[in-house]
């Protein structure tokens, strides 16, 4: 039975980089955000987003994701409504992806809101990626062409590291990539030992 390793961390912690290290080591990775982008192109989801948030978020039927982000990351209620549309579809998408990867001992499920969405309950192990807040803000500003205020709003909508760590099996500090990669190797060794013991 394939074991699902949940990989999470706050915005800008470098989850995707860490997921890439696991992938290089032969472990398939499902990125929930990419899954969400895929499902949000389906007619059914587009219709639901239009009904909930209005037509003005679409240019020629293409969703303007940054406009939508600006709305939902300022309003917890609107974010919850968006999640109730997108999460069930991502869950379905992941389940069919998992069927295609059943020959692997482990897969990584990478999601920013693994805990907030409740999906962590479906994982066999959980890894939280951390980094100092200032580094995280800088990373997101470089990556997303956004404002500091937007980044901080998004951080406020997510769990803090202490809360995540309390429910995690492993923690990777991603301030230094070389050390973070070594931590990935170490986690895989521990998982192998656990696998042999079970």
Alpha carbon dihedral 111, 112, 115, 116, in 10-degree steps, equals -120
2 carries a ligand binding annotation: no
175 carries a ligand binding annotation: no
CA angle at 157 for the pair 91 and 139, rounded to the nearest 5°: 90
66 carries a ligand binding annotation: no
Distance CA 164, CA 55 (A): 36
Q: Do residues 18 and 174 touch, judged by C-beta distance below 8 A?
A: yes
Say which residues have a Cβ less than 8 Å from residue 181's Cβ, sequence separation at least 6.
Answer: 21
Q: Do residues 120 and 114 touch, judged by C-beta distance below 8 A?
A: yes
166 carries a ligand binding annotation: no
52 carries a ligand binding annotation: no
Say which residues have a Cβ less than 8 Å from residue 141's Cβ, sequence separation at least 6.
Answer: 147, 148, 151
198 carries a ligand binding annotation: no
**Which residues line the annotated binding site for ATP?**
12-17
Binding-site annotation, residues:
12-17
């Amino acid at each position: 039975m394939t074991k699902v390793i949940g990989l999470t961390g706050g915005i800008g912690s470098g989850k995707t980089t860490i997921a890439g290290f696991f992938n290089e080591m032969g472990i398939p990775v499902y990125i929930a955000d990419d899954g969400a982008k895929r499902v949000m192109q389906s007619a059914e989801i587009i219709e639901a987003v239009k009904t909930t948030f209005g037509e003005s978020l679409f240019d020629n039927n293409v969703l303007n994701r940054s406009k939508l982000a600006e709305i939902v990351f300022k309003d917890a209620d609107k974010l919850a409504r968006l999640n109730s549309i997108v999460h069930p579809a991502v869950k379905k998408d992941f389940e069919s992806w998992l069927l295609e990867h059943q020959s692997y001992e482990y897969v990584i499920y990478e999601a920013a809101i693994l805990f907030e969405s409740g999906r962590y309950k479906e994982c066999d192990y959980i890894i939280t990626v951390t980094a100092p807040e200032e580094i995280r803000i800088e990373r997101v500003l470089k990556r997303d062409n956004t404002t500091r205020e937007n980044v901080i709003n998004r951080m406020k909508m997510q769990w803090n590291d202490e809360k995540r760590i309390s429910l995690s099996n492993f923690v990777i500090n991603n301030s230094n990539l070389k050390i973070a990669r070594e931590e990935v190797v170490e986690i895989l060794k521990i998982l192998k030992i656990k696998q042999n013991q079970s």
